[in-house]
Structure 1
Amino acid sequence: MNDLYAQVKAELELTRTELEEGLNRTSYYDREKLNQVDHHIQAELQDVKRTLLKMDLGLYGVCEETGERIPTELLKVVPTVRTLREAEAMTQFPYLVEQPLYC
C-alpha cells in the first residue's frame, strides 16, 4: 500500500497544481462561457484536496460511510473514491470509469 500511496499522492498533488493553474488561466477569459467548466474544475479540485487531506490524516482508502477499507484495485482506478458504495457502483458499471491511473 505504501508504493500505491506514494504514487497516488504524487499524482494528486500534480493534479491539484494543474487544476489550480487551469482556474487561474480561465479567469482571463469570458467568465460566462466558462462558468460550467470552472464548476467542474472546482469540484474535481475539491475531490483532490479532500483526498490529500485524508492521506495526511491517515484516512486514505477508508470508506466515509462504514469505516471499512476500500479495495486497493479500486483506489488504483479512482484514487478519489470516497465510499464502498461508490466503489461498488464502479465495479458494476466499469465502462463509466476511465482507464487505471496506476499499474
Structure 2
Amino acid sequence: MNALQEKLLLELRQTKFEIQQSLTNKHSNDWMTPLLEEELKDVELALQKLTDGTYGQCELSGELLPVDLMKMIPTIRSSKDTEDIISYFKKPILSSF
C-alpha cells in the first residue's frame, strides 16, 4: 500500500466511524438516514477495495481513476462518476491554462 492509499485508508476509517456515530445517535428515521446509510456502504466498499488491492480502478473499465479525484472523493467508483461530477462545475476541471 502506498502513502496515498494509507492516508485515504485512515480518512475512510474515520468517515465510517463518524457516519456510524451519526446513525447511532439518530432518534428517528428522517430524510438524512438513507443518505448516511448509502454513504456508509460506499465507504465500506472503498475500504474493501483498499484491502483487496483494487482501489482506484474504474468498476466499469478497470482503468485507473484520476488521483486528484480520488483525493477529493475517496469513495469514487467509476469514470462515469467523474463525468457526473464534471457536469456540476461551471468551468471544466480538465481545462488547459
Distance 2:11 2:86 in 1: 22
Aligned length: 90
Structure 1 consecutive aligned stretches of length 4 or more whose deviation exceeds 3 Å: none
CA distance in 2, matches of 1:22, 1:92: 30
Aligned to 1:72: 67
Which residue of 1 is the match for residue 76 of structure 2? Answer: 81
Match of 2:9 in 1: 9
What whole-Å deviation, never above 9, does each CA across 1:2-24 have from its counterpart, x for those lacking one? 22111111000001011111111
TM-score (norm 1): 0.79
> Where in structure 1 are there 5+ consecutive unaligned residues?
96-103
Shift of 1:92: 4.1
Select which of 11, 34, 39 maps to 1:39: 34
Aligned identity (percent) is: 31
Gaps of 5+ in 2: 91-97
Please give the root-mean-square deviation of Cα atoms over the aligned residues, in Å: 1.6
Alignment counterpart, residue 88 of structure 2, candidates 80, 90, 93? 93
